[in-house]
Amino acid sequence: MKGILYIPYANSSCVKDFTYDKPLTSEQYVKMETKEYNDHKNGVDTMMVTRYGNNMSYNSYNKRKFNYKKQSYEFFECDCIVLNDDGKPQTLFELVNHEKEQEPFVLILNLNEKKLTDDADIETEIKKWISDSTKVKNCKRLSDVEVMYHLPKKDFKLKVDNRICVLKDCKFLKIMSSVSYNVFAMMISKITFVKE
- The per-residue pLDDT string of the chain (196 residues; one tens digit each, 9 = 90 and over) reads 899 999 988 776 656 665 556 777 888 888 888 988 888 777 666 655 555 555 555 555 555 555 556 777 889 999 999 999 898 999 999 999 999 998 999 999 999 999 988 988 898 999 999 999 999 999 988 999 999 999 999 999 999 988 999 999 999 999 998 888 899 999 999 999 988 6
What Rg value do the Cα atoms of the chain yield, rounded? Answer: 23
- 158-174: pLDDT as tens digits: 999 889 999 999 999 99
pLDDT for 13 equals 64
CA 51/CA 72 separation, integer angstroms: 41
String of b and e for 172-181 (b: at least 16 CB within 10 Å)? bbeebeeeeb
CB 183 within 8 A of CB 175: yes
DSSP letter (8 states) at residue 19: -
Q: Where would I find the H helices in the chain?
A: 26-48, 92-101, 113-118, 120-137, 144-150
